[in-house]
């Protein structure tokens, strides 16, 4: 399996942290040198390991924002 390369371009923020120290974060990440996308996933301390996550374009992130705003929370 090929190595996955990533570069965190911007840290938006953490939304939670597990008792083991992993944090669920929203970041702007370039994967394998491609155009950066917004990324939501769990990270180990110091970003040495990552869990499964989801990447979103700006348009997808705006659609998600609109869906969440419509929930009336």
Instruction: Summarize pLDDT for 10-39 with one digit per residue, the tens.
Output: 999 999 999 999 999 999 999 999 999 999
**CA angle in degrees (0–180, nearest 5) for 30-11-20:** 105
Residue 55 is encoded by which pair of tokens? 């990447």
* Residue 58's pLDDT band (cuts 50, 70, 90): very high
Q: Where are the domains of the chain?
A: 1-52
Which CATH architecture group holds 1-52?
A: Roll (2.30)
Q: What is the pTM of this model?
A: 0.88
């Amino acid at each position: 399996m090929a190595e996955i390369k990533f570069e965190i371009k911007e840290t938006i923020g953490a939304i939670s942290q597990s008792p083991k120290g992993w944090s669920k974060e929203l970041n702007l990440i370039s994967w394998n040198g491609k155009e950066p996308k917004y990324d939501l996933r769990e990270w180990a301390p110091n970003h040495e390991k990552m869990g499964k996550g989801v990447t979103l374009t700006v348009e997808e992130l705006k659609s998600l924002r609109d869906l969440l705003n419509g929930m009336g929370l």
